[in-house]
Structure 1
């Protein structure tokens, strides 16, 4: 596929434009709040694979359409991925199939992190669960004043498994990391800036997008091979640790994810009620 062809393609979960050496990738759903369903996970690595190799692109702005960046994993749309491993007495075949599916999800986020073109994220509204996974793969993160963040997986009976636990420790301190991951609490943009999750906070959605575009412009105006070199050197020391963490959590969740609490969490989503966890 030529650069022009991939750029002009009608994506289902994204809008993608390229102009003056900057790609703008916008999450568009189709789930509510740009929730991450099958289309998102299929298209994300393809888009960033093209961006990585397109000589016309030197920097990327990543943002969400509408009021919110992303509500995270679309549990309803992705229920099929979990179905076999959650079945009673799931055996090796079902767990192995889930492991492979999980590694594909991880690969989508890793495609963003490994992209040689720096990625600048502009976050407005909610950034939950998988949304945090995604912005952890960006190089620079900005938020609007109304942004809120949550590593929500613990609230739905899961260990976060597609990137947050591997990458966020390199962005914020260990104590803050553990607090957010273990509680699943929500934090606002001011707290996110204080702990280093975001670089800066802008007044509103238009302002944060303008800030991200300005930073992408500054990056794109620099020598592209030097920019690639900076990313490569910065990523070198931590890439092996991130890779090891992703493999470990994939194996962990393939073995231990099935639980009554997870089934209860998914059922509660369908029934639109608060889950009741019993530690089983």
Structure 2
């Protein structure tokens, strides 16, 4: 796919740095079907491009990403909602999860280091995405939330696999079990982001400056550093992703997730009953 044909992203390449910007089309750069179908091929293309030595990952507008676009992804979820989903729809759902995981994995596995520039909200799938980046910077107005628990979902795109080494087990459990919001200052304190900058322009400038520093180094050595750093955790991440994909296909379908979806469409608070 050519660089000007993406629906969920824009891509600009200058001085060996590729800037990938999330553009939706969902509100707040929410992650719908186009995002999930394009993410993997896009980063595979960047990985293979000899002109690219580093990547800046950003979000258009006031927010990085609202995360999974539940209304847009509802058709994928519908066949497994409730307690009557049989083997065929669960198997298809399992395959869909694995396909989506491959998109985030393509970011993590990209041999060109990825620097994320985060402003505004970074929710759910947005946190999965930045956890796959090598370096994360935030603007002062950034807010983060592993919010899947609020919509009766076990996060399955990589946060649980990658964040223990980034923020530690205790912080991850607090965020995952509560679904609470974390501001930029707290995110920096727990190590979720490397640094915090005044606003969206400043954080993007900082991300490009770091990407340029990386791009000025010997590219094969940079790729070798990434490979060595990733080696010790790759099997652990792969095992975690496989497990959560199987767990979700087997146990995620529930009345609670149906209630969560209905609450989103009806713009009300859900009432979970543990069924």
TM-score range, shorter chain: over 0.9
Aligned equivalents of 1:251, 1:50: Cα separation in 2: 29
5+ unaligned residues in a row in structure 2: which ranges? none
Q: Distance between the aligned counterparts of 1:57 and 1:35, measured in 2?
A: 26
Q: Which residue of 2 aligns with 1:115?
A: 110
Please report how far the alpha carbon of residue 170 of structure 1 lies from its aligned counterpart in structure 2 after TM superposition.
1.1
Measured in 2, the distance between the counterparts of 1:279 and 1:82 equals: 18
- Give the structure 1 partner of residue 29 of structure 2: 34
- SS of the counterpart of 2:156? coil
What TM-score, normalized by structure 1, do the two folds share?
0.97
Partner residue in 1 for 2:188: 193
How many aligned positions are there?
275
Q: CA RMSD in A?
A: 0.8
- Corresponding residue number in structure 1 for 2:237: 242
1:59 to 49, 54, 57: 54
Q: Partners in 1 of 2:237 and 2:228 — Cα distance?
A: 15
C-alpha distance after superposition, 1:187-225 (max 9, x if no partner): 000000000000000000000000000000000000000
Quote the residue 2:94 is aligned against: 99
How big is each residue's C-alpha offset from its partner over 1:154-204, in whole Å with a ceiling of 9 and x where there is no partner?
Answer: 000010001100111110111101000000000000000000000000000
- Looking at structure 2, the residues matched to 38 and 247 of structure 1 have their Cα atoms a distance apart, in angstroms, of 21
Q: Which of 224, 232, 235 in structure 1 is aligned with 2:219?
A: 224
Structure 2 match to 1:169: 164
Partner in structure 2 of residue 22 of structure 1: 17
Q: Is 1:43 paired with 2:38?
A: yes
> How far 1:278 sits from its partner (Å)?
1.1
TM-score in terms of structure 2 length: 0.99
